[in-house]
Structure formats: C-alpha cells, structure tokens
Amino acid sequence: MLAHLTQDAAPSTPTSDQNKVFRTELTPLSFLRRTAALFPDTTAVVDGNRGTAYSYWQFAGRVNRLASALQAHGLRPADCVAFLCPNIPPMVEAHFAVPAAGGILVAINTLLNAAEIAAILRHSGARFLFVDHELYSILTPLNLDGITVIRVDDTGLPDDPYETFLAKGSPEELDPRLADEEETISLSYTSGTTGQPKGVTYTHRGAYLNALGNVIETGLTPDSVYLWTLPMFHCNGWCFPWSVVAAAGTQVCLRKVEPALVWDIFEAYGVTHYNGAPTVHTLIANHPAAHRLARPVTVMVGGAPPSPALLAQLRVLNVQPIQVYGLTETYAPITVRAWRQEWSALATEQQDRLLARQGQGRIVSDLLRVVDEAMDDVPRDGQTMGEVVMRGNIVMKRYHDDPAATAEAFRGGWFHSGDLAVMHPDGSIELRDRKKDVIISGGENISTIEVEHALCAHPAVLECAVIAVPDDFWGERPKAFVTLKSTQRATSEELIAFCREHLAHFKCPVAVEFGEIPRTSTGKVQKFVLREREWTGYDKRIY
Amino acid sequence: MLAHLTQDAAPSTPTSDQNKVFRTELTPLSFLRRTAALFPDTTAVVDGNRGTAYSYWQFAGRVNRLASALQAHGLRPADCVAFLCPNIPPMVEAHFAVPAAGGILVAINTLLNAAEIAAILRHSGARFLFVDHELYSILTPLNLDGITVIRVDDTGLPDDPYETFLAKGSPEELDPRLADEEETISLSYTSGTTGQPKGVTYTHRGAYLNALGNVIETGLTPDSVYLWTLPMFHCNGWCFPWSVVAAAGTQVCLRKVEPALVWDIFEAYGVTHYNGAPTVHTLIANHPAAHRLARPVTVMVGGAPPSPALLAQLRVLNVQPIQVYGLTETYAPITVRAWRQEWSALATEQQDRLLARQGQGRIVSDLLRVVDEAMDDVPRDGQTMGEVVMRGNIVMKRYHDDPAATAEAFRGGWFHSGDLAVMHPDGSIELRDRKKDVIISGGENISTIEVEHALCAHPAVLECAVIAVPDDFWGERPKAFVTLKSTQRATSEELIAFCREHLAHFKCPVAVEFGEIPRTSTGKVQKFVLREREWTGYDKRIY
C-alpha cells in the first residue's frame, strides 16, 4: 500500500479562476483520479492478446507519463494528437492522457487508406501521430512534416518506441488544465454524405455525462469486465474507455475480433459487457465455440438495427442485448431500447415489432423528435415519416473547422440526423429510411458520393450511382450502377479492383450492374427507383 | 395508449437564449419528462398507507397541475414554496412541481416547533406553505400574513384542499423556465452550530448530478422499488425523489416508519431500496417481523457511523448496506464505503476496522481532503487528525442570505465540514471527532448552543454546557451540565420539561447533571473535559 503514496489522490488547490467551491468542470478525467485513488489494486486494463494487465495504480501512472511526455515534446493546449491503432492498451491510455495534457484526441479509423488518413491529419492539424506497428507501413507515401510520429509495437517492453516515449514522462498527475467543461476532448472523423471527412467535436462535458449514462444503462460496476470488440476509433468507443474507468471496472483489449479468442476470453476473464454492430454480434454468436454463458453478459447493439433473430440468438447464449441508435454526431448511441421483461409473454411477431423500434433518448439525452420540413412534429401514428432531430448534452459541439456544415446540421436549433423515422403512439421512434446518401456496412459509414467519385475516375465510366443493398451479415453493402462510355469496355471485376486502389476496401462495391441510370426529367438521378428494385420484399429501405 | 397523447413528450423548441444545440441545462426535471414519456404505465408513486398508486403518466399530470396552479396563484421566479409534510405523495410531487414552476422548494423538518418553523418561513421568505393535516394545528400561534397556506389532508379525494388546489392547474407541461443550471432548486434548513437556521442552497446542476450518482451507487433500475423511510425533509431525501424518477423506478411513501408496516410493505411491494440513519435501520432490523428477504434490498446508511454489529445484522436479513457520509451542505452523502466482496474472507475485527471508515468521494464528487489549520493535507498515516474539507458539484452553492457564514464555510476555496478525521494510507477517511458543537441524534442535527440558550433562559440556571453522550439506539443524545444560581433550586425533570416547552423534543437533554463547569484560566468552557468523562471506553468522540 505504501507504494500508492507516490500517487497523490488529493486534488490540487483550485486556481484562482476556478473559484466556485460548488462547481468542478465536468470531465472524464475526474473518473480516473477517483478510481485510481479508491481502487488502486483493481485491474484497469488487460491486454487480451498478451495476457498482461495493469492495475489502476499502474494505469494512472502510465497515463500521467504519456500526458507529461506529450507536454515535454511540445504539445500546446488544444493541439490534436492522432492515434492509428487497434484496440490495444495505449488506446485506452490515450483517452485520458491526451486531454490531461490539454490536447485533443483524434482516433483514426484503421480501415482507411493512406490518402484518407492524410486528409484527416491535414484537416485536424494533428501534431502527434501514434501508429501501431502493423499499420506503420501505410504511412510510407505520406508527407508527415511537422508531425511527431511514434510507433507502437504493442509489446509493453522497454524497447517499444511507445514505452520509450512514456519513460520520458512522469507518473505524477499533471495539474488540471480544464478551464471550461465545453472545451473539446476529441475529434471523431466521419465521412458523412459528401466524402469530405468531417471532424465531429466532443466536449469534456458531453463525454462525462455520456459515460455516466453508459454506466447506468449497461449496469457497469467495479465487478464489470468489459471486452473491446467495438473499435475505440468509433466515436471514442461509444465513450466506454471513460465509462469503464468511471465504474472502476476492467477493460480487456483485443487487437481484432477473432471469435474463438473472444469465447476464450469470455470464460477466462469473466466478461460481463461488450458492444458492437450487429455484424460483430453475428460473428460471435455463430462461432462453433458459442455456448450459453453461466453469467449474463450485457451488450449494446448499435450501428444498425439488429434482426429479431439475432437478438433471440443472443438471449439463448445469456447475452442480454440493449438496442441503441445514434450517430457519430451524438457521441454514438443517443437512444435506448432495452429488452423489457414483460415482452417475454408476447408472441414472437409482437416482440419483433417492438424490438424493431429505436426507442427514445437515453438518460442523459433530451428526447428526440421526428419532424417534417417545417420542423413541426409528425403525428404519433407509427406511419408518418419525418426526420429524426436531436439536441442536448450528447450532441456534438460542431464539425471542426467547418461552420457551413455545422450550420446546415444545426438548422432550426436541432441536429438533423438525416434518418427518416416514424413516431409511435408510445413516443418511441422507428427508423424507416435515410435522407442522406450513406451506407452503413458492419457499423461503418460509407458515403455513396465518395464511392461514385472513385468510380467516375475510371476512364471507361460515363456515369454511375451507388446505393446500399441488403446483406444478411453486413447489414448493407454498396452496389454500383454504371453506364460506360460508348467507346470503352470494363468488367465489374476491373471497376471493383479500381475502387480498391483508391478507397478503403470496406467502401468498395460488392457488385456492379451496367445499364441506363434512371433520371428525372430534369436529369436528377432517381436512386429510389434503384432502391425499390433491390429492396423488394423488405418493408424498410435500411438494414 | 391514446390517452398518453395529451402528455406531449416532445420538448419545446428552445428559446433564443438557449441557442446551443449541444447544451441542455442540467436539471432533475428532465428525468420526469423522459420517464413519463418512456414509462407512462409504470407505477411512479405508491401511498403505502392508503395503498393507492399513480402511474408515471398520472404523476406527471399531477406535477404539471401543481406547477401551473402555483403560477396561477402568483408564484414568481425564485419564490420559495414551503412543505411541512411527512413522506406522502405530495412531497414527491413538490420536488418536481415547485422547480418546474420556477420556484424553490423548502421542505421543513416536521419535528420542529412553531417558533422554529416560523424562523424558517421568515428567513426563506416563503410565499406558499403546504402543511399536512396532522401538523396543521402547530401553525395556530403563527402570523402567516403574506403566505398562502394549503392544507394537505392526504386523502387524494376531491375535497382534500391539496387536491382542490391541483384541480385548478393544467396537466400540460409548462415551458421550461431554467436559464442556468446553477439556479437554486431548493433550500434545506440546518440548525448548524449557532442555532440560527441556515438555508443550504442546492442547484439544479448539483441535484441532477447527485441523482445520477445515487442511481449508479445504489443500482436503481426501472424494476426498483424505493421505500421512503428517510424523511424527504432531510436534504431533499438525499435527492432520491429525483433519483428514483431518473431510473423510472417506483417510490413507496409512508407517513411514518412503523416497523411492522415496513416489513409488510417489503413483501407486498417487493421493495429493493431504502435509506436511513443507523437508528432507523436498528428499528427495522430488530422488529419481531424481521426475517431474511428473498431478494436483496440495497440500503444507504448515513447520518452517523453504523456499528459493525448493525451492518452484520442487516446482511443476515439480505439487506445490503452501503455506508455513506455527508452533511446537509453536501446534498447529504458525499462519500461512499460500499461493502466489498473480498472483505468477507477477513476476520470480524478487520471487517469492523474497514467498515468504520467513511471512504472517499462518490462518483459525482471531487475527492475529499483532510487538512490542518494551514490547509495542508495531513499525512496519510491513519493517525494525524485534520478537518474534512470538500469541493465540487455536490457542495452547496451557499447559505441562503448569509454571506458571512458562507465565506466562513468556504474559506480557502473548500467547504469546511467541521468534522475531524484521519486519512488512511489507502486514501479513505475515517471520522474521529467533531470540531463543531453539533450533536447528531438519530440522524437529526442538534446545535448544543441552541440547547444551552434554552436552558439558560430558565430563571434558576446560572450557566450550562451541553455535550453529546453515546446512546446505543440514537447514536448520540444531548446531556446538560448545569450550575444553578446560589439562591435557586431546580430538578433535572423541571429543566428538561422547560426545554421541551421551547425546543423540538428531540433536541432536549436526556440528562442534567448539576455542579461546577470546567473552564480554562481565561474562562472558556472545557467541553472536552466533560466529553472525556462521558465517553470513557470509546475510541472516538462521536457516535
């Protein structure tokens, strides 16, 4: 216990501008301070691949080292620090150390290609880039002038450049730097509808409140063991790096979702929680190692509506699903549709209908609305479609350095999701279609416009249209409709291969169909005609 | 379900000054809006004496009626609305309706006498007073000019004046009035050390955050059933009227704690949670009807340190205690010392030692410090005593209309508890003594100075000193040491009876001892000499 004395749990005397005894700026950093003080010996982070673990006392020391090393390397307030890593312990450390140093965390999607990564580094103005050894080679073509690059070998050994960087820092806690809880804690890039990356800005306040919401709605406690199946680069892992620390639980990191290993870890560590898109849950639930677990595992299912069959399958395994819905712009889940005990008595068909709904705002959110073009609420009839709009403490602060897109998204004083839904008489919303040209595949957003731009760059392509088509595993996949130039030839395979040279692979079409593209009399592409054809037999136009 | 359409769940369009899409002022009122929308048919409030219940839809309608009726009767923003009632449904309604109307709730201790009540009405400037029929006669001697008094018959029937008042209001939700989450939601009066009532001011922000903390730390869910054993006039029932609504649970009201009825209600309603001072838990646990409950009941034990024997007794009954510590100035509990599974393996004596500690700050609190006179932290040695000081979002905003007392309490940028404690190497605090002349009896604060003033008003008393003496049931009781005027005679019984004419009965001495009062050479009363004598055999000077 004496060793803990070096870890000073007592907060510093407030600076003169923080003169309200009754007010502390809300920040997830306070969770680590408290948990490290109260639960120093509890396991904070496990490396599920290596089998090593850090206690909260060790974890806090590492966080403090990273924070002070960043400052020693010239980090200035509000500088961006990018991480391009899978779910490894340094990613959890980054969620505390970067804001503790006064910086802004930019966790980059590891599925992106070099050009896409470059665009994010440029747009955010990142001054540091921590990159996992497996992804290091992707940086080769990039000009990284002005960016301090640190390779993360994920060995935890002294010769790992990440560990060398940490060794330069101090395990002592830095003085709190936060003057205002509405300061930015992170940028989450989303391709949105235009293919231009947009930096969704989260605040310390929003992250703190959303973390408390997660603790409440998934029942995290000091006995919880959270498994990282959801990428931390997605909306900061839905704020769970902060949530698990708030609850003093344990988080188990995994470089990638390998179902056999996931089942081993379920048993070895007594996992109580994990999250993911339906695709991830399907992968886990259908593995040969799948079996009913002795104690319940609580999971959030988001990113796309899960099928009732999947939810039923999970419950058989003693995995208790909580259906959620949200966007990058809402710190990920902003609605919750928890399984209710009383539904057990209903017929399967009724259960399916109830489960298909997205529910309503979470405990830390305002209630969502479904509105018409004039921003009036649609009737609560379960039939009239309108756009889902949100506001409140878990809506993003803005798109980074993009006032026009922010103003457009916030018109009328509400964030416009671009998702079309009905409002049921019980006040719950149910998604039906999407206003925006976005495909959601395995939880990843794909801008159809971005795919169309890539295709149109092929010399044989005259014009094209990309839509989502349903897919039982991925939810949605992109399909391209292409008209070739009359003088040119190209096969589906050639066009798909061409796309894979220019786009992250998950964004590329799974199929290409050649022919005339339907248009209005004024020449506008009628994607709905294509969708109607591809979605025959489905009662919605999203999956 | 159609009936719910009249209850518009969609929040109003924000007013022009609330122009941040990403910010909603934190207020517990948002919990009711959300829960009424999502759980309209769930039972919100049960009258445990009458056996009647209101659903969330009904409850929200009643709250809205009370709020709009208050406005119709001339309530202006920040007007105080006093409630002098036991734990009955109107008390829960007041916690939402008064702030929804823009007012400030003043829940008055029902144990006070007429003069004490008058002082609070005067100091708060209350413009409304809702008073339970059983307490109505206490108002007879008072001048209530300028105060609208409404009697609450607690029948729920149309001829109950409270119901008549509600009937004048509208069940529609009022437009949100809150411009700033740091506005005052309630005043909780505490006698403090001087006997002058002090109005401890809570904010909407603090109440919201503390409510979320309660949900997390006691595990409230939509399946929870909370029994009102703790008075709602104590620190707004430790914020549980708001917490239970946040979680969409059910709260069961009880006019008073009758253990036989409590045990009936445990079974009849499937109670999962209740709170109270050790005295209340002792009363419940020792009743002949006490038996091990089939499902665990989670309880917070606060107001005074519980004995290990009591905690062990509760666990045998399947009542899981969470030890907490706080003051009126900290929205009640600000530390938590939850039972840890690993302690089960320890020897009883070790368990006792660990349980005797007050722990550390709750999830929504800053960490507490133990400091010396120079505001430096005492060593973490479990031996050096210092004063417990607090800051953060669950510290009061101020003492109402008392800048001098506020400045004194907040000196050095921290709230000074007046409690003396040691800091253990593991960062947990343990109370040892009290700097302030306060007696805590059955969870109620008694100012020794106030009792002394009452005694000295007796014509036979020359001088007196009042201290706490240990009591196995009440924790502490006041004992008076009196020197009579040489020409006068008085018995203990006469002096106690005299006190009961002027003070609330729980404040009156249980014993009077006559003789010389020990003084310093400068004439200052040496209460510690008296305490040493009375507390021989105890290792602390508080109970």
pLDDT in tens, B381-417: 998 989 999 999 999 999 999 999 999 999 999 999 9
Q: Based on the fold, state whether residues A397 and A498 are members of the same structural domain.
A: no
Greater confidence (B521 vs B118) lies with: B118
Q: Based on the fold, state whether residues B409 and B506 are members of the same structural domain.
A: no
Among the partner-chain residues B1, B19, B391, the one whose CB lies closest to the CB of A24 is: B391
Q: What is the pLDDT at residue A142?
A: 95
Residue B420: phi and psi, rounded to 5, are -100, 135
Task: Give the C-alpha separation, B432 to B263, whole Å.
Answer: 34
Among the partner-chain residues A21, A369, A392, the one whose CB lies closest to the CB of B391 is: A21
Radius of gyration of chain B (CA): 23
- B21 vs A contacts (CB less than 8 Å): 391, 395, 410, 413-415
CA-based nearest residue to A25, from A175, A177, A180? A180
Residue of A nearest to B371 (CA): A10
For residue A285, being part of any structural domain is answered with no
Bridge pairing between strands B43-47 and B250-253: parallel
DSSP B327-387: EGGGTEEEEEEE--GGGGGS-HHHHHHHHTS-BEE-TTSPPPEEE-TTSPBPPSSS---EE
Greater confidence (A445 vs A14) lies with: A445
Q: What is the pLDDT at residue A193?
A: 57
- pLDDT over 70 at A9, yes or no: no
For residue A22, being part of any structural domain is answered with no
Indicate yes or no: CB of A393 within 8 angstroms of CB of B22: yes
Q: Based on the fold, state whether residues B59 and B200 are members of the same structural domain.
A: yes
For residue B503, being part of any structural domain is answered with yes
Cβ within 8 Å of B, A 391-450: 391-393, 395-398, 410, 412-415, 425-428
How would residue B432 be classed by pLDDT, with cut points 50, 70 and 90?
confident
How would residue B193 be classed by pLDDT, with cut points 50, 70 and 90?
low
Looking at residues B439-465, what average pLDDT do you find? 85
Task: With beta carbons less than 8 A apart as the criterion, state whether B255 and B246 touch.
Answer: no
Cβ within 8 Å of A, B 50-109: none
Q: Based on the fold, state whether residues A184 and A155 are members of the same structural domain.
A: yes
| Alpha carbon A535 to its chain's center | 27
Task: Give the C-alpha separation, A407 to B357, whole Å.
Answer: 53
- pLDDT over 90 at A533, yes or no: no
Q: What is the pLDDT at residue A1?
A: 30
Task: Give the C-alpha separation, B251 to B271, whole Å.
Answer: 9
Among the partner-chain residues A10, A24, A182, the one whose CB lies closest to the CB of B369 is: A10
What tokens were used for A224? 């919880």
Q: What is the pLDDT at residue B192?
A: 60
* Other Cβ atoms within 10 Å of B68 Cβ, number: 22
Residue A226: phi and psi, rounded to 5, are -100, 125
Domain boundary, last residue among B434, B469, B489: B434
Indicate yes or no: CB of B21 within 8 angstroms of CB of A215: no
pLDDT in tens, A153-187: 999 999 999 999 999 999 999 988 899 999 999 99
How would residue B194 be classed by pLDDT, with cut points 50, 70 and 90?
low
How would residue B528 be classed by pLDDT, with cut points 50, 70 and 90?
confident
pLDDT in tens, A366-421: 999 999 999 999 999 998 989 999 999 999 999 999 999 999 999 999 999 999 99
Quote the percentage of chain A above a pLDDT of 90: 69
Q: Based on the fold, state whether residues A503 and A405 are members of the same structural domain.
A: no
Domain that residue B169 falls in: 26-42+52-221
Which residue carries 């001072």 as its tokens? B277
What tokens were used for A95? 């969620």
What residue ranges in B175-267 does DSSP mark as E strands?
A: 184-190, 198-203, 225-227, 250-253
- B414 vs A contacts (CB less than 8 Å): 21
How would residue B521 be classed by pLDDT, with cut points 50, 70 and 90?
low
Backbone dihedral region for residue A238 (phi beyond 0: left; psi -120 to 50: alpha; all else: beta): left
Q: Work out how many domains chain B is built from and give that number.
A: 3
For residue A215, being part of any structural domain is answered with yes
Greater confidence (A503 vs A86) lies with: A86
Q: Based on the fold, state whether residues B453 and B527 are members of the same structural domain.
A: yes
Sequence letter at residue B74: G
Alpha carbon of B473: minimum distance to chain A alpha carbons (Å):
31
- pLDDT over 90 at B11, yes or no: no
CA dihedral B492, B493, B498, B501 (to 10 degrees): 140
Q: Based on the fold, state whether residues A405 and A529 are members of the same structural domain.
A: no
Q: What is the pLDDT at residue A528?
A: 80
Alpha carbon of B363: minimum distance to chain A alpha carbons (Å):
7
Strand arrangement, sheet containing A429-434: A369-371, A386-390, A415-423, A429-434
For residue A353, being part of any structural domain is answered with no
Q: What is the pLDDT at residue A194?
A: 60
For residue A480, being part of any structural domain is answered with yes
Bridge pairing between strands A225-227 and A250-253: parallel
Among the partner-chain residues B212, B367, B398, the one whose CB lies closest to the CB of A11 is: B367
Alpha carbon of B442: minimum distance to chain A alpha carbons (Å):
28
Indicate yes or no: CB of B367 within 8 angstroms of CB of A34: yes
Radius of gyration of chain A (CA): 23
pLDDT in tens, A223-241: 999 999 999 999 999 999 9
How would residue B334 be classed by pLDDT, with cut points 50, 70 and 90?
very high
For residue B317, being part of any structural domain is answered with no
Touching check for A16 and chain B: CB below 8 Å? no
Quote the DSSP letter at residue B311.
H
Domain boundary, last residue among A276, A311, A340: A276
The CATH number given to whatever domain includes residue B390 is 2.30.38.10
Name the least confident of A513-517, B201-205, B373-377, B443-447: B443-447
| Alpha carbon A335 to its chain's center | 15
- A242 vs B contacts (CB less than 8 Å): none
CA angle centred on A306, ends A304 and A309, rounded to 5°? 160
Among the partner-chain residues A22, A216, A375, the one whose CB lies closest to the CB of B396 is: A22
Indicate yes or no: CB of B426 within 8 angstroms of CB of A24: no
For residue A18, being part of any structural domain is answered with no
Q: Based on the fold, state whether residues A108 and A35 are members of the same structural domain.
A: yes
Looking at residues B21-46, what average pLDDT do you find? 96
Q: Based on the fold, state whether residues A124 and A250 are members of the same structural domain.
A: yes
Task: With beta carbons less than 8 A apart as the criterion, state whether A400 and A124 touch.
Answer: yes
Among the partner-chain residues B24, B219, B359, the one whose CB lies closest to the CB of A391 is: B24
Indicate yes or no: CB of B425 within 8 angstroms of CB of A11: no
The CATH number given to whatever domain includes residue B447 is 3.30.300.30
DSSP A232-257: TTSHHHHTHHHHHHHTT-EEEE-SS-
How would residue A529 be classed by pLDDT, with cut points 50, 70 and 90?
confident
Q: Based on the fold, state whether residues B161 and B104 are members of the same structural domain.
A: yes
Task: Give the C-alpha separation, A328 to A66, whole Å.
Answer: 27
Task: With beta carbons less than 8 A apart as the criterion, state whether B103 and B56 touch.
Answer: no
Most confident of A441-450, A505-514, B57-66, B274-283: B57-66
Q: Based on the fold, state whether residues B381 and B416 are members of the same structural domain.
A: yes
Looking at residues B267-283, what average pLDDT do you find? 94
Domain boundary, last residue among B167, B190, B221: B221
Q: What is the pLDDT at residue A13?
A: 42
Q: Based on the fold, state whether residues A507 and A393 are members of the same structural domain.
A: no
